[in-house]
Amino acid sequence: MARIEGADPRKMSFGAGLFVRFAYWATKRKLGKVPAPAQIIAHHPRNLWGYAEMEQAQQAAKRVDAGLKNLADLRVATRVGCPF
C-alpha cells in the first residue's frame, strides 16, 4: 500500500483535473483499474504526462517481438510482486 493517497482530480485545477481524469479513464480502459503508481504520480500532472509518454514509447518499440515484451512484463511483475 502506498504511503500517500492517490490524486483526486476533483480537487485539482480545471486543466490539470481534466488531464488526470482522462489519464485515469485511459488507464482503467487498458488495465481494468488505475494502479497506485499512476495515482501517486498524478499529483504532478507534468510528471504524469512524461510517465505516459515513456509507457507509450516502450509499447510502440518494434525491435522486440510483442510476445517477448509481454513475457518480460509478466516476469518483472512477478519478481517485484506487482499485480499488473
pLDDT tens for 5-49 read: 888 888 988 988 899 999 999 999 988 999 888 899 999 999 999
Asked if pLDDT for residue 55 goes beyond 70, the answer is: yes
**Residue 1 binned pLDDT confidence (cut-offs 50, 70, 90):** low
Q: Which residue has the higher pLDDT, 83 or 8?
A: 8
Q: Where are the domains of the chain?
A: 9-80
Cα(21)–Cα(15) distance, integer angstroms: 10
The set of residues, in sequence order, having a beta carbon less than 8 Å from that of 69 and lying 6+ positions away, is 59, 61
Residue with grid cell 476533483, as numbered in its chain: 10
Taking the CA atoms of the chain, what radius of gyration do you get in angstroms? 14
Please, what is the end-to-end C-alpha distance for the chain in angstroms?
14
